Chain A
Amino acid sequence: MAETAYLPGLAIRDADSPDSPRHSAVVRITHWITALSFVGLLYSGIAILIAHPRLYWGDTGAVGTPSLIDLPIPFMIGHSGWGRYLHFLSAWVCVLAGLVYALYGLLSRHFGKNLLPAKGDLAWGRIWRMVWRDMQLKRPSEEEALTYNVLQRLAYLAVVFVLFPLIILSGLAMSPAIASVVPVLRSAFGGQQSARTIHFFVALALVLFLCVHIAMVWLAGFTDRVRAMITGYNAARRERS
Chain B
Amino acid sequence: MSDRLSRRKLMTTGLVAAAGATGLGIAARLADRYGLIPPDDGGIYGVGETITYATQRVLVGRHSMAREFTRSDVSKIAPVKGPPPEDETYHRLLAGGFADWRLKIDGLVARPTFLSLAELMRFPSENHVYHQACEEGWSFIAEWTGVPLSYVLNLVGVLPQAKYVVFYGFDTNFDAADKQTIRGKWNSIDMADAWHPQTLLAYGMNGQELPTPHGAPLRLRLPRQLGGKSTKYLALITLTDTVKDIGKGYGAGGTERGFSWYAGI
Q: Which residues of A contact B (CB under 8 A)?
A: 48-49, 51-52, 54, 59-65, 77, 80-82, 84-86, 88-92, 174-181, 183, 186, 192-193, 196
The answer to whether B60 and A178 touch across the interface, beta carbons within 8 angstroms, is yes
Q: State the Cβ distance, A65 to closest chain B Cβ, in Å.
A: 5
The answer to whether A180 and B66 touch across the interface, beta carbons within 8 angstroms, is yes
The answer to whether A177 and B224 touch across the interface, beta carbons within 8 angstroms, is yes
Count: A-B pairs, CB below 8 Å: 117
A-B contact pairs, 5 of them (CB 8 A): A49-B137, A54-B137, A59-B139, A63-B79, A192-B139
Count of chain B residues with Cβ under 8 Å from any Cβ of A? 43
A196 to B138, CA, bound (A): 10
User: In the complex where A48-B137, A59-B141 touch, is A88 in contact with B60 (Cβ < 8 A)?
Assistant: no
For chain B residues 52-88, which have a beta carbon within 8 Å of chain A? 52, 56, 59-61, 64-67, 69, 73, 75-79
The answer to whether B138 and A63 touch across the interface, beta carbons within 8 angstroms, is yes
For chain B residues 111-154, which have a beta carbon within 8 Å of chain A? 131, 133-141
Q: Which residues of B contact A (CB under 8 A)?
A: 44-45, 47-49, 51-52, 56, 59-61, 64-67, 69, 73, 75-79, 131, 133-141, 223-226, 254, 257-260, 264-265
- The closest CB in chain B to the CB of A62 belongs to B138
Give me the 4 closest cross-chain CB pairs, A-B, nearest first. Answer: A89-B48, A177-B264, A52-B137, A81-B258
**Chain B interface helix/strand/loop/mixed:** loop
- The closest CB in chain A to the CB of B61 belongs to A181
Q: Given the complex, which residues of A lie within 8 Å of B259, measured CB to CB?
A: 80-81, 84
The answer to whether B52 and A92 touch across the interface, beta carbons within 8 angstroms, is yes
Q: Which of A54, A65, A81, A85 contacts B76 (CB 8 A)?
A: A65
User: In the complex where A176-B224, A179-B66 touch, is A60 in contact with B61 (Cβ < 8 A)?
Assistant: no
The answer to whether A179 and B139 touch across the interface, beta carbons within 8 angstroms, is no
A59 to B130, CA, bound (A): 11
